[in-house]
């Protein structure tokens, strides 16, 4: 037999790449034993990335989940690995050094062995501290090359990047083909080049299935010297996820490599349990299209990890856009039409934004700007009218250096808005934050937890942690799930699933109110089917705000987009309150939409008389946010 090839199961990423949520801790505990019994995995990806934030969103303590989920693998000698985002830790925006350092120490204590660290811009200086802190915390430091395909992302580019990361102390290299658009032969050349320079370095390949290259890519990288391959299992493999274990195992075995046998009885049990979790609640957040592979993804290069959220975003945006189209006498558009327009726009603007690798969070930034551009173009407006704060930070160098040059058009917009480009070390812009967070927890009477794990969660995800602790997160999630179940039940009762999916509209027989029971609690749910009532048109200005004069003389600031309204996005900001004086151009809050913060500015001066939306509440486009007098 030939060289031994090992497998890593991406159970966390399987869910993230399919939809919005991951299984609860009781479900993870249930599926862990048969995963172990399959007898073929040397590693399991257990946490990191969006995992812990998602736990908080449905009202579960992520520290409990990580400790209990990793324990059975620790006990049987299967290595556990996490995904972390370098400067951003495990959230979507940068964090202080002290929080980054605590993360690696804590995750090792909680049972995670390997830290896969990536920088969304492939800026190696952002990974230097990740490598250092992972090793100091007792973890294996694995640095990732974010694979994308452009005229600047060449084989030599990636080999040089690996040289730098290994020089910083990285013990392993991950080939992170997050969109699955790496061309198989080129990926093989990258692995071959790294192995030639560093023959003892372990290389692990991670490739999504989306555009269809992943099986050929796996064979090429293994032939070139890769040691471990990331895989998924049904019913979540393929589509926007990863190739299935059984296919990869059979292919490599036929190619003469030594691969572990798979206990098929255990495989079928894991498969069955995963379907059980989908039927329980996770399937309500998985778009059926995410189960499909699509060669159209070759063009925009959007990663599998964001396709689940992308389809959810499109559902919200197409509803809002079609309302506008209807009241302006234009024909409604389909989701397919919007999707293709979005893909074309991503391909158009990506070079203008400096070719940032299309990986979290920067893939979301590029996609969001593209989607906003498409919506504005449909409305007869100009591109670039809405660029969120997170995207500006990327463009200005506050998250690292983008690989390519930024277009003059973008530079001109930055100049017109008084924005300056930053050329220093991005970490210097984000001060330590643990002491301040600890003081706030003391003031609120909150326990910092075992090994400061609750402090870590609060500092890493302050808004989500507060919502979790208050019980609001679970209440909101359960209500949303009840609404989704009621809508599905209504469609089933009228046998109109296909009709609704095709036309986007309800039938006259669908219910308006339903009663749903979740976890022992009963909910009466009002079901909306997007009726034909229209809303008077409001025009957003270049600062992403809408202001109007109401009939009683109050000036109203309305939501320019759908999302979650927040008065602040960090603990260092002071929220707006009644009685505050607001001047034209002042920041009044944010709308978190599509994983980024969109700053909302007033375009009139006045005194705040009413804050009409609760902090963190969901708002639709044109909802009233603030009243001024």
Q: Going by C-beta distance under 8 Å and a sequence separation of 6 or more, which residues neighbour residue 254? A: none
Joined together, the tokens standing for residue 84 give 């972390």
587-593/596-601 β-pairing = antiparallel
Average pLDDT over residues 242-256: 97
Judge contact between 170 and 142, C-beta under 8 A.
Answer: yes
- pLDDT-derived band at 555 (thresholds 50, 70, 90) equals confident
The beta strand positions in 138-292, using DSSP E, are 140-146, 172-177, 202-207, 228-231
pLDDT at 500: 38
Residue 540 predicted with pLDDT over 60: no
pLDDT at 27: 97
Lowest mean pLDDT among 130-139, 311-320, 453-462, 503-512: 503-512
Q: Output b/e per residue, 443-482; b: 16+ Cβ within 10 A.
A: eeebebbeebbbbbbbbbbbbbbbbbbeeebbebbbebbb
Residue 505 predicted with pLDDT over 80: no
- pLDDT-derived band at 154 (thresholds 50, 70, 90) equals very high
Which residue pairs, CB below 8 angstroms and at least 24 apart, start in 199-203? Answer: 201/162, 201/166, 201/171, 201/172, 201/173, 202/171, 202/172, 202/173, 202/227, 202/228, 203/172, 203/173, 203/174, 203/175, 203/227, 203/228
Joined together, the tokens standing for residue 212 give 């269809």
CA angle 375, 379, 385 (to 5 degrees): 60
Residue 307 predicted with pLDDT over 90: no
Domains and CATH numbers, the chain: 6-289 (3.20.20.70), 295-428 (1.10.472), 433-470 (no CATH), 472-526 (no CATH), 546-628 (2.40.50.100)
- pLDDT-derived band at 507 (thresholds 50, 70, 90) equals very low
Distances from the Cα of 132 to the Cα of 16, 457, 532, angstroms: 28, 22, 57
Query: Is residue 499 helix, strand or coil?
Result: helix
**Integer Rg of the chain from CA:** 24
106: left (phi over 0), alpha (psi -120 to 50) or beta: alpha
Residue 545 predicted with pLDDT over 50: no
Average pLDDT over residues 293-309: 70
pLDDT at 5: 98
Average pLDDT over residues 373-385: 87
The beta strand positions in 147-243, using DSSP E, are 172-177, 202-207, 228-231
Judge contact between 38 and 267, C-beta under 8 A.
Answer: yes
pLDDT at 145: 97
Joined together, the tokens standing for residue 274 give 């995963």
624-628/555-558 β-pairing = antiparallel
pLDDT at 191: 98
Query: Is residue 45 helix, strand or coil?
Result: strand
- pLDDT-derived band at 531 (thresholds 50, 70, 90) equals very low
Taking each helix axis as running N to C, give the angle between helix 408-416 and helix 389-396, from 0 to 180 degrees, rounded to the nearest 10: 120
pLDDT digits (tens, 9 = 90+) for 264-291: 999 999 999 999 999 999 999 988 888 8
pLDDT at 301: 74
Average pLDDT over residues 529-554: 42
361 preceded by a cis bond (ω within 30 of 0): yes
- DSSP structure class, residue 22: -
Average pLDDT over residues 195-208: 97
Q: Read off φ and ψ for residue 8, nearest 5 degrees.
A: -120, 130
Residue 317 predicted with pLDDT over 80: no
Q: Read off φ and ψ for residue 50, nearest 5 degrees.
A: -85, 0
Structure-token match 């030594």, residue found: 258
Separation CA 105–CA 110 (nearest Å): 9
Separation CA 87–CA 130 (nearest Å): 8
First to last CA, the chain: 80
Q: What is the pTM of this model?
A: 0.78
Separation CA 365–CA 150 (nearest Å): 18
Average pLDDT over residues 527-551: 40
Separation CA 249–CA 229 (nearest Å): 10
Q: Give, for 226, the enclosing helix (H) or strand (E).
A: none
DSSP helix, strand, coil percent of the chain (3-state; round to 5):
45, 15, 40
pLDDT at 207: 95
- pLDDT-derived band at 305 (thresholds 50, 70, 90) equals low
- DSSP structure class, residue 363: H
Joined together, the tokens standing for residue 154 give 């060449």
Higher-confidence residue of 250 and 599: namely 250
- pLDDT-derived band at 394 (thresholds 50, 70, 90) equals very high
pLDDT digits (tens, 9 = 90+) for 414-460: 999 899 999 999 999 999 999 999 999 999 999 999 999 999 999 99
Structure-token match 């957003």, residue found: 540
6-9/41-48 β-pairing = parallel
Residue 333 predicted with pLDDT over 70: yes
Joined together, the tokens standing for residue 26 give 């009781």
Separation CA 277–CA 280 (nearest Å): 5
Residue 160 predicted with pLDDT over 90: yes
Residue 156 predicted with pLDDT over 90: yes
What is the residue-averaged pLDDT of the chain?
A: 86
Structure-token match 């976890």, residue found: 519
Residue 408 predicted with pLDDT over 90: yes
Average pLDDT over residues 514-519: 51
Torsion of CA 541, 542, 545, 549, to 10 degrees: -30
40 preceded by a cis bond (ω within 30 of 0): no
**Largest CA-CA distance found in the chain, in angstroms, rounded:** 83
Separation CA 414–CA 403 (nearest Å): 19
Residue 323 predicted with pLDDT over 50: yes
pLDDT digits (tens, 9 = 90+) for 64-119: 999 999 999 999 999 999 999 999 999 988 999 999 999 999 999 999 999 999 99
235 preceded by a cis bond (ω within 30 of 0): yes
Residues paired with 619 in a beta bridge: 563
């Amino acid at each position: 037999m030939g060289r031994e090839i090992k497998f890593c199961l991406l159970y966390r990423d399987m869910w993230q790449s399919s939809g919005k949520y991951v299984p609860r801790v009781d479900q993870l505990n249930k599926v862990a034993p048969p995963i172990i019994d399959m007898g073929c995995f040397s590693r399991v990806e257990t946490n990191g990335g969006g995992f812990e934030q998602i736990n908080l969103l449905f009202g579960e303590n992520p520290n409990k989940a990580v400790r209990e989920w990793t324990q059975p693998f620790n006990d049987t000698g299967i290595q556990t690995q996490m995904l972390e985002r370098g400067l951003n830790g495990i959230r979507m925006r940068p964090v202080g050094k002290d929080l980054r350092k605590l993360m690696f120490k804590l995750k090792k204590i909680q049972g995670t062995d390997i830290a896969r660290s990536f920088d969304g811009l492939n800026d190696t200086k952002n990974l230097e501290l990740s490598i250092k802190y992972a090793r100091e915390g007792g973890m294996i430091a694995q640095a990732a090359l974010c694979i994308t395909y452009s005229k600047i992302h060449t084989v030599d580019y990636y080999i040089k990047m690996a040289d730098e990361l290994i020089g910083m102390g990285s013990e392993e290299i991950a080939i992170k083909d997050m969109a699955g658009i790496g061309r198989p032969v080129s990926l093989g050349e990258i692995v071959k080049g790294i192995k030639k320079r560093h023959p003892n370095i372990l290389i692990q390949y991670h490739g999504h299935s989306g555009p269809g290259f992943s099986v050929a890519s796996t064979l090429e990288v293994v032939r070139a010297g890769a040691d471990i391959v990331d895989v998924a299992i049904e019913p979540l493999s393929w589509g926007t996820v990863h190739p299935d274990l059984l296919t990869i195992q059979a292919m490599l075995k036929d190619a003469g490599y030594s691969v572990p046998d798979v206990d098929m009885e255990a495989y079928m049990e894991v498969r069955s349990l995963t379907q059980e979790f989908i039927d329980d609640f996770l399937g309500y957040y998985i778009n059926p299209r995410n189960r499909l592979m699509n060669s159209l993804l070759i063009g925009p290069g959007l990663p599998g990890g964001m396709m689940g959220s992308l389809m959810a975003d499109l559902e919200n945006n197409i509803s809002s856009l079609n309302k506008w189209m209807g009241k302006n006498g234009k024909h409604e558009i389909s989701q397919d039409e919007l999707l293709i327009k979005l893909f074309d726009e991503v391909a158009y603007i990506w070079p203008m934004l400096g070719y940032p690798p299309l990986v979290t969070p920067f893939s979301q930034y590029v996609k969001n700007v593209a989607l906003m551009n498409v919506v504005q173009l449909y409305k007869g407006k100009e591109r670039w009218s809405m660029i969120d704060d997170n995207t500006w930070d990327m463009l200005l160098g506050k998250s690292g250096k983008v690989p390519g040059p930024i277009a003059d058009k973008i530079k001109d917009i930055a100049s017109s808005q008084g924005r300056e480009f930053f050329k220093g070390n991005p970490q210097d812009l984000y001060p330590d934050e643990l002491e301040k967070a600890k003081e706030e927890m003391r003031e609120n009477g909150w326990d910092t937890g075992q090994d400061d794990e609750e402090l870590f969660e609060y500092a890493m995800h302050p808004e989500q942690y507060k919502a979790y602790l208050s019980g609001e997160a679970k209440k909101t999630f359960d209500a949303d799930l009840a609404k989704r179940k009621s809508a599905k039940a209504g469609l089933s009762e009228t046998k109109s699933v296909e009709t609704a999916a095709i036309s986007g509209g309800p039938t006259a027989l669908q219910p308006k109110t339903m009663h749903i029971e979740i976890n022992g609690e009963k909910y009466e749910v009002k079901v909306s089917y997007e009726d034909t009532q229209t809303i008077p048109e409001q025009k957003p200005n270049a600062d992403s705000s809408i202001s109007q004069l109401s009939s009683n003389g109050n000036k109203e600031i309305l939501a320019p987009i759908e999302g979650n309204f927040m008065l602040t996005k960090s603990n260092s900001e002071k929220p707006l309150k009644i009685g505050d004086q607001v001047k034209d151009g002042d920041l009044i809050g944010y709308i978190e939409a599509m994983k980024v913060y969109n700053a909302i500015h007033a375009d009139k001066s006045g005194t705040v008389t009413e804050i009409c939306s609760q902090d963190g509440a969901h708002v639709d486009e044109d909802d009233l946010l603030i009243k001024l007098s």
